[in-house]
Homo-oligomer: A and B are copies of this chain.
Amino acid sequence: MSAGRAPAQRAKAPDKRRLILDAAVRVFARQGFHACRVSDIADEAGVAYGLVYHYFASKDEVLDTLFLERWRVMLELIREVDANAIPVRDKLGAIASFIIDSYRHDPDLMKVIIVEVTRAANSFGNTHIGTIREAYDLIGGMIVEAQDDGVFKVEIESRFAAMAFYGAIEQLLTGWIFDLLPQDDEYFERAKWLVVETVCGGLEA
């Protein structure tokens, strides 16, 4: 807890909290949040059952932590991209790149976040809808800006366009998660281009 203690902890012992989070990602990805037991997480992490409850108040909090950690990074990226004075196409391309690279780098984590949170309308999705929405709103803002600049058609409402754009990306990840699409570097790169090409092609004036 104290600021001075944390570095000392990390220096000597393996960070058990992190160990538990990483194990949880693998277990959630493999079995799903509902189907797995807390003991599965503890076993996967190689720690005692009770230690999970030393670091987290509940099973839910483990998933909340994973989601918030990752989503915060994504929101930062989007804000950063948005601050640059570059064409919308590049902005949307950077977002698509980031999400697809996130999947490429840690497919299990992205699978968990998408399957268990952003699409779980009756559980975690509902809890975090405010945070999720921030991303849609930021993307929507970029589209409004592009419309004001005359780059995008004004007939397509920004909120719809943002949903369609984000939805297309998430569905590609879903395709990879379900193993319906090939997962190699060439395809990941192609997918980035495809999403931007398709959606921007349809939105441009």
Residues of A in contact with B (beta carbons under 8 Å apart)? 30-35, 111, 115, 119-123, 125-126, 129, 132-133, 136, 156-157, 159-161, 163-172, 174-175, 177-178, 180-181, 190-191, 194-195, 197-204
Residues of B within 8 A of A195 (CB): 164
Is the contact region of chain A dominated by helix, strand, or loop, or is it mixed? Answer: helix
Residue of B nearest to A136 (CB): B180
Residues of B within 8 A of A120 (CB): 32, 115
What is the CA–CA distance of A163 and B180 in the complex, to the nearest angstrom?
10
What is the CA–CA distance of A167 and B123 in the complex, to the nearest angstrom?
21
What is the CA–CA distance of A191 and B11 in the complex, to the nearest angstrom?
54
The number of times this chain is found in the oligomer is 2
Residue of B nearest to A168 (CB): B164
Interchain nearest-CB distance for A35 vs B (Å): 6
Residues of B within 8 A of A122 (CB): 30-33, 35, 115
User: Pick the contact of A197 from B156, B167, B170 — CB < 8 Å?
Assistant: B156
Residue of B nearest to A200 (CB): B202
Contact indicator B172/A160 (Cβ below 8 Å): yes
Given A123-B35, A168-B167, A198-B203, are A175 and B156 also a contact pair (CB < 8 Å)? Answer: no
Interchain nearest-CB distance for A129 vs B (Å): 6
Interchain nearest-CB distance for A190 vs B (Å): 7
What is the CA–CA distance of A160 and B126 in the complex, to the nearest angstrom?
29
Contact indicator B121/A174 (Cβ below 8 Å): yes
